[in-house]
């Protein structure tokens, strides 16, 4: 049984509270002092590259891995501590993984009903119809998993996980096995379903676009630690280091050194008022932060570049540029709205949007 928290923990909120969680496999530390809170009705994405510890964190929260250090509290009930381990089935947790894990010998309706066998038959049937209807697969209730497409199987798996009305919902890369079109459709459906519940939701993903689309907040993990946490806009616009900045989009990387509160690069000069004189730095500029214009009229241009290639990418164009630097030529990308109007070998003026450029000390670079 889950233990009730003592009185001096009564200030903890409902939802998920994970505090100072650490986990190791032998001598390898996978989670290093990770803390995370998710309010009821909130969806948080745990984002990071493969091997950063995010799936291990999810498994610890679910009870699949026994917690080694720290504690996990779900709706003010202690479910994990070094001497406490509540099994997954007793945590009121819904799980959705990459592999759909549907029972092949059961129909969709029977799969969904499996986790709510404690309900009376009529109530169970009503709940099955409700969740299948929410996910747009009520007409597939009598079908077997082998007859379904990948997207339909994932909807059925989600319906099964949602049927018991879990207080905490955990998803591990739930859309990664789907093609791009189905992935976009399904994550939109899942977002609408989850935002109409009071469950706390944690979704593990390595896809930054998916994290920004799904998450009320994003927690970025690197090497077993959460390095930055906040709303998607905050992480995109104010990354704390080069790793986070490079995670959310392609970036042009240049190096320089602080001189008189500025750093000079091949594509322009940026202010660095908080960095000490002479500090070696890495400059990251997003392609959409590079504007192009005529060299003759761009009196405030930062540099002149030569167009190497231009490719249309739907609503934007990617321009490959070569720019002279003190040590040779620098290759950078600019992303401009609409259809490109620049020919190969054309010279263009370049300006930088400082809101799309970031400067970090080289010692702070983690990738």
Look at residues 246, 276, 300 and tell me which one is the last residue of a structural domain: 246
From the list 238, 162, 161, 167, the residue with the least C-alpha distance to 198 is 167
Range of the domain at 95: 3-246
What is the C-alpha separation between 283 and 281, in angstroms, rounded? 6
Residues paired with 270 in a beta bridge: 263
pTM: 0.88
Paired sense of beta strands 225-230 and 252-259, if any:
unpaired
Cβ contacts of 245 within 8 Å, gap of 6 or more = 239, 251, 284, 358, 360
The CATH number assigned to the domain holding 298 equals 2.40.50.140
Q: Are strands 168-172 and 93-96 parallel, antiparallel or unpaired?
A: parallel
pLDDT tens across 185-231, in order? 889 989 988 888 899 999 999 999 999 999 999 999 999 999 999 99
Residues 339 and 268 in one domain: yes
User: End of a domain among 246, 262, 278?
Assistant: 246
Same domain membership, residue 242 and residue 332: no
Q: Do residue 217 and residue 317 come from a single domain?
A: no
Q: pLDDT by residue (tens digit) across 76-125?
A: 999 999 999 999 989 989 998 877 789 999 999 999 999 898 999 999 99
Residues 263-286 pLDDT 10s: 999 998 999 989 999 999 999 999
Q: Which of 222, 246, 270 is the last residue of a domain?
A: 246
What does the pLDDT look like over 144-188, one tens digit per residue?
999 999 889 989 999 999 999 999 999 999 888 888 888 888 899
Spatial separation of the C-alpha atoms in residues 184 and 46, rounded to whole Å: 19
- What's the confidence (pLDDT) of residue 303? 87
pLDDT score at 367: 43
Q: For position 176, what pLDDT does the model report?
A: 85
- Is the domain of 222 the same as that of 289? no
326 and 300, same domain (yes or no): yes
Domains in the chain, number: 2
The CATH number for 164's domain is 3.40.50.300
């Amino acid at each position: 049984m889950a233990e009730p928290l003592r009185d001096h923990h009564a200030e903890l909120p409902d939802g998920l509270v994970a505090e100072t969680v650490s986990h190791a496999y032998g001598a390898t530390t996978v989670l290093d002092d990770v803390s995370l809170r998710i309010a009821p009705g909130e969806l948080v994405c745990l984002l990071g590259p493969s091997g950063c510890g995010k799936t291990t964190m999810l498994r610890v929260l679910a009870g699949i891995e026994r917690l080694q250090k720290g504690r996990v509290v779900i709706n003010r009930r202690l479910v994990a501590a070094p001497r406490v381990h509540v099994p997954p089935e007793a945590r009121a947790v819904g799980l959705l993984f990459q592999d759909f894990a549907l029972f092949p010998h059961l129909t969709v309706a029977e799969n969904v009903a499996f986790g709510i066998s404690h309900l009376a038959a009529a109530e169970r049937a009503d709940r099955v119809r409700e969740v299948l209807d929410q996910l747009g697969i009520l007409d597939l209730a009598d079908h077997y998993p082998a007859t379904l497409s990948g997207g339909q199987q994932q909807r059925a798996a989600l319906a099964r996980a949602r049927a018991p009305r879990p207080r905490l919902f955990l998803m591990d890369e739930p859309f990664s096995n789907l093609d791009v079109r189905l992935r976009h459709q399904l994550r939109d459906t899942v977002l609408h379903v989850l935002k109409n519940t009071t469950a706390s939701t944690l979704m593990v993903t390595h896809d930054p676009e998916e994290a920004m689309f799904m998450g009320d907040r994003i927690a970025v993990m690197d090497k077993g630690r959460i390095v930055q946490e906040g709303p998607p806009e905050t992480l995109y616009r104010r990354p704390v280091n080069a790793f986070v900045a490079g995670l959310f989009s392609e970036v042009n990387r240049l190096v320089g050194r602080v001189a008189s509160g500025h750093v000079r690069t091949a594509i322009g000069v940026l202010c660095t008022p908080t960095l000490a004189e002479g500090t070696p730095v890495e400059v990251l500029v997003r392609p959409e932060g590079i504007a192009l214009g005529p060299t003759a009229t761009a009196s405030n241009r930062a540099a002149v570049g030569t167009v190497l290639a231009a490719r249309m990418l739907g609503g934007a164009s990617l321009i490959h540029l070569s720019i002279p630097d003190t040590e040779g030529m620098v290759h950078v990308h600019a992303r401009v709205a609409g259809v490109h109007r620049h020919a190969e070998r054309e010279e263009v003026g370049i300006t930088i949007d400082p809101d799309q450029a970031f400067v970090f000390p080289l010692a702070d670079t983690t990738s």
